[in-house]
Each structure stands twice: as C-alpha cells, then as structure tokens.
Amino acid sequence: MLAPALAAAGVLVLLPVVNTLWLSLHHVILYRPKSRPFVGLENYAAVLADPVFWESLGNSLVWVVGAVSLQFVLGFTTALLLNRSFAWRGIARALVVVPWALPSVIIGLIWTWMLDFNLGVLNNIGVKLGLLSASVPWLAQSETAMASVILAVMWQGFPFFAVTLLAGLQSIPAELYEAASIDGAGTLGKFIHITLPGLAGVIATSLLLRMIWVANSLDLILVMTGGGPGTATQTLPLHAFLTAWSGGNYGHGSALAVFLTILLLGVVITYLLRSREG
Amino acid sequence: MKRLRLLLGTELPVGLILAFALLPWIWMMLSSIRPDAELTQSPIALWPHQLTLAHHIELLNRTSFAENLRDSLIVATGAVSLGLGLALPAAYAFSRFRFRGRNYLRTQFLVINMFPVVMLILPLFVLMRDFGLLDTYVALISGHATFTLPFAIWLLTSYIDGIPPELDQAAMIDGATRLQALRLVVQPLAMPGIVAVGIYLFIASWNEYLFALMLAGRNVRTVTVALQLFIGENQIQWGLLMAGGSLVALPATILFLFAQRRLVGGLTGGAVKG
C-alpha cells in the first residue's frame, strides 16, 4: 500500500536530488546537452569565488531573519488577542487567515500595485498623512526594495503563526492560570511563567518550519522585483534559479542549490533531533 | 470601565490586525471593478466613483485567461485525485501496520518538504523533457501531487488513527479483503478528513507557480504563470491584472475559509504535539 507513494517520492524527489548532486560536478550548459564534461568541485570553487553568491547569502540572511521575526511577532500578538473572549472572536479568527490562502504570485501582484510609484495607494496615503514628503519608488531603489518584499511576506505568513500559536495557547490548561492568580501572579508573571513555557515546543517547531519555508521560497521576490534592483533582493534560491534558468548554467546553479540544501540541512537536523526528543 | 478596557485593549488591536490582513485583499477586488480612467490617475482616489466589470469581460474574451483557468482547474483536479489515490493507501498502512522502519519512513516523508524546490526543479525539467512530458498535464499533476504528499499522508494518518481498527477487523471476519475494508469501511468514515485534504491539495496546486512555470507554461499554462507573464509586459494593465487576481483569489479564499477549521487542526497538530 505504501509502494505507490514511495515510488512517486523516489522518482520525483530522491532521483532529482541525486541528479542535482551529479550535475553540480559537471560543466552543464542547458543549450548544449551533448557536452557535459566532469569537472569535479570546480563549480563549487566558482560559487565560493563569486561575489554575487556572498551577496545573495547576505540577502538571504536579512530576508529570513526579517521575515520570520516580523511574522512571528505579529502572529504571536494576534494569537494572544484572539485567545481572549470578545463577541466577534469567531469571525476574527476565520478572517485573519485570508492572506495565507492566496498564491504568492497574487500577493506579489497586490503589493506591487499598492507600492507603485505613481499609482500606489500606500504612497498616496503616506503623502496625505504627511508621513512621506513625496512618493517613494519602494521596489525600484535598493535601499527600500528588501524592506518592501519583507513587508509582503510578513503579510502572507503571519496568519500561520497566529493559528499555530493560538492552537498552542488553547492547549494550556486554564487551571494553571487560576492557580497562578490565587498565588498572586500578575499578567506579566503569568505570561512568563505559564504561557511561554507552555508554548515553548510549538514556538520552536513553528519557527523552524517557517524558516525553512521562507529560506526556500523565491516566487514572491521573483514576481515583485526579480531580484533587483541590481541584486538588492536576490536571495540564494533565486540566484540559483536565475543562474540555471535564465543563465542556462545548470552546473553552477546546481552547486548553488546544493549549498542552500546544506545550510537548510543544519536547520532540518535540529528539527529532527527535537521531534525525536518529543 | 470593563467594557472600555475590552474595547481598547482587545477589540481595537484585533480590528487593526484584521484591517491589515483584509485591506490589501479588498483593494485588489475593488481595483478590479474600477474603470481604467480611475486606475491611471495619479494620485489614485481612495473611493471609487464608478464600478464596472469591463476588465473581467475583456480578460475572459480578449485574452487566453479563460483557457488558463481551465488548465489550472484540470491540473488542480488531477492533483487532488492522484494525491488522494497515493496518500490514502499510504496513510492506511502507516495507521494500521506496525512494520520496521515505519517511524523512519514517516520522518522521511516530512523531509521531502525541506529540500529546496530549486534543487528539485532543475533535474525534474530535464527528466520530463527526456520523457517528452514537458508542457503536459501529466507533468504538472504528478509534480504537484508528489510535493503535497507528505502533508496529505500526515493529515490522513491522524484521521484514520481515529477510526477503531476493530471495524476493519470485523469487516475482514465477514469475508472482506484488506482493500475492501479500506474502501467500504474506513473510507466513508474518514470522509471529512479526505475532503479537507482534498481541498488542501486543490489550493496548493491552484496556487503553485514554480513547477507550473518550469514544467509547463506554453500549451499548458496555469493562471499563476499567466498573471506573472502579464506583469512582465511593457505596459502594465493594472485593471486586467487585478481582474485576473480576483478570479484566482476568490476560489482559493472561499475554499480555505470553508475547510480552515479542519485544515488548521491538521496543520498545527504536528507542531503542537512536537
């Protein structure tokens, strides 16, 4: 009964992974399929010598840390608020997930439209409220492009933390809070001594899963800036994709993909060790 | 006083967060039904003066978007069928049999999701090209179904775990085979879970972009790829883009709201237990 699922995973996942490792040791140009000489670790050396690689690595770091921490802070706040009781809580819980249901392409589209230099509604509101002295070309200048794509991915991802952490909050027994109140604990004390320890497992797992997802995702950036202006928003997976796809250099692109995988593997191993303990 | 505290301390912040979550979505929907004259005027007016379906009509009549919608529908439906066909027997096996390497395999299926898509997509492109499957429904359906397999199996296993194994044993004592027990006893009882997983598979495939771009894109072009190509054109026609966005976003939003309680339970179950 497992065989069909295993076969599909084997052909469509394992085989490609092995294949990428293999390609990364060869000089492969997409448009010249006949000639692919073995070059050993030459592609890897080329990657390490490539300044764009280091820049992409730095961009990836900013992207992952910025996106995940903002998503987490907003998502956690949302979860804490939605865990309190008020009349329209049910509707609020349902509607807060809307951004999460949308394709990245649409999300990129919406934010590109709202951040547009001439016609963007955010520029208009910002100028009207006096926050901006003039329209800002958010996605077209390198100082603001990364912040803009992080804003879009924060919008996309904070509902994930909101619902995950809300489920975690609901699994903390109410008796603990009552007992703490009797012992004279304040709101902050309860948060530090009951909520945070009770959520520790959920927080760690959801942070790790989200980091992997954000580190891998490239479609939002591809739609909004294509990695630009220049290489200001080019993250590691996007650099690998552009090198292999637009540049046609599969060997170099594969080596980049392997580097990314090794970096993520560190995160994955942490996750697996953790889940084994649990 | 208590009422005021609730309003300022809870309801107001929740309202602000909801506004942040919903306003961009609403702005897209609103932009899709405003005439070009309003959309090309800088600075853009917040309140529409006139509403029109002209963009939707033009999009469906004058571009290939109707065909793109059809392609997306075929691919997503195919991915649901194939995904469930692969995941249901696997989930049943994980739930009912205790075999060597069971836990190991369950973890392995989760690891699938952690490989960067770029790592998979380049060789898959070459593989599909060698088999002559590039730019076909088969390529996209199999790609989407496999990539969503881990979560589908994970969620279905937890549903089947909730169905007492005594029921399939009773059916087998009455002369049913394993597969008949799965089909006639377990499947109907697990239907709510199967529907939820089906909706998840549908949304995941409907929303997917990178596979759809790399493994197809010319003869078989899904809506996400089509929209991205619209953006790439010299003169961006925001009205058409927003109309396309609204047509793609609406089914995903409605399905997600419909299935969210069950999906969220499944999505978070692992994290909460972990």
Taking residues B235-244, what's their average pLDDT?
89
Identify the residue among B84, B114, B210, B237 best suited for mutation to test binding to A, counting A beta carbons within 10 A and taking the highest: B114
Residue B135: strand, helix, or coil: coil
Task: Identify whether the C-beta of residue B260 lies closer than 8 Å to the C-beta of residue A94.
Answer: yes
Contact flag B257-A94 (C-beta cutoff 8 Å): yes
Residue A40: inside a domain: no
Place of tokens 């990129």: A108
- What is the spatial distance between Cα A199 and Cα A193, in angstroms, rounded to a whole number? 11
Q: How many domains does chain A have?
A: 1
- By Cβ distance, the residue of A9, A86, A100 closest to B11 is A86
Residue A230: inside a domain: yes
Provide the pLDDT for residue B262: 67
How far A30 CA lies from chain B's nearest CA (Å)? Answer: 9
Question: B20 or A172: whose pLDDT is higher?
Answer: B20
What b/e readout covers B238-257, taking b as 16+ CB neighbours within 10 angstroms? bbbbbbbbbbbbebbbebbe
Whether residue B266 has pLDDT greater than 70: no
Q: A221-252: per-residue pLDDT in tens?
A: 999 998 889 899 999 999 999 988 888 888 88
- What is the spatial distance between Cα B217 and Cα B134, in angstroms, rounded to a whole number? 9
Whether residue B86 has pLDDT greater than 80: yes
Q: Which positions in chain B touch A275 (Cβ < 8 Å)?
A: 107, 274
Residue A204: inside a domain: yes
Torsion of CA B218, B221, B226, B232, to 10 degrees: -30
ipTM (interface predicted TM): 0.89
Surface of A (174-203) touching B: CB under 8 A: 201-202
Provide the pLDDT for residue A205: 79
Task: Identify whether the C-beta of residue A263 lies closer than 8 Å to the C-beta of residue A81.
Answer: no
pTM: 0.88
Provide the pLDDT for residue B268: 52
Dihedral sign for Cα atoms in the order A50, A55, A58, A63: negative
Nearest to B117 by CA among B148, B83, B161: B148
Q: Which two tokens stand for residue B53?
A: 């379906």
Whether residue B234 has pLDDT greater than 70: no
Residues of chain A with pLDDT below 70 are 30-34, 274-278
Provide the pLDDT for residue B271: 45
Identify the residue among B122, B154, B208, B248 best suited for mutation to test binding to A, counting A beta carbons within 10 A and taking the highest: B122
Whether residue B22 has pLDDT greater than 60: yes
pLDDT band at B274 (very low <50, low <70, confident <90, very high): very low
Q: Which positions in chain B touch A171 (Cβ < 8 Å)?
A: 272
Residue A161: inside a domain: yes
Residue A126: inside a domain: yes
Q: B131-164: per-residue pLDDT in tens?
A: 899 999 999 999 998 888 888 888 888 888 888 8
Provide the pLDDT for residue A159: 92
Provide the pLDDT for residue A78: 96
Q: Which positions in chain B touch A260 (Cβ < 8 Å)?
A: 116, 118-119
B109 Cβ under 8 Å from any chain A Cβ: yes
Residue A2: inside a domain: no
Provide the pLDDT for residue B272: 43
Provide the pLDDT for residue B245: 93
Q: Which two tokens stand for residue B209?
A: 């972009």
Looking up residue A105, the CATH number of its domain turns out to be 1.10.3720.10
Residue A181: inside a domain: yes
- What is the spatial distance between Cα A20 and Cα A253, in angstroms, rounded to a whole number? 9
Measured CA to CA in angstroms, residue B209 lies from A18, B119, B144, B204 at distances of: 24, 15, 10, 10
pLDDT band at B270 (very low <50, low <70, confident <90, very high): very low
Q: A77-116: per-residue pLDDT in tens?
A: 999 999 998 889 888 988 998 998 899 999 999 999 999 9
Residue A44: inside a domain: no
Q: Which two tokens stand for residue B71?
A: 């392609």
Domains along chain B with CATH numbers: 63-273 (1.10.3720.10)
Provide the pLDDT for residue A253: 86
Contact flag B264-A163 (C-beta cutoff 8 Å): yes
How far A254 CA lies from chain B's nearest CA (Å)? Answer: 7
Q: Which domain holds residue A80?
A: 62-234
Place of tokens 């073995």: A38
Provide the pLDDT for residue B108: 66
- By Cβ distance, the residue of B90, B207, B231 closest to A223 is B231
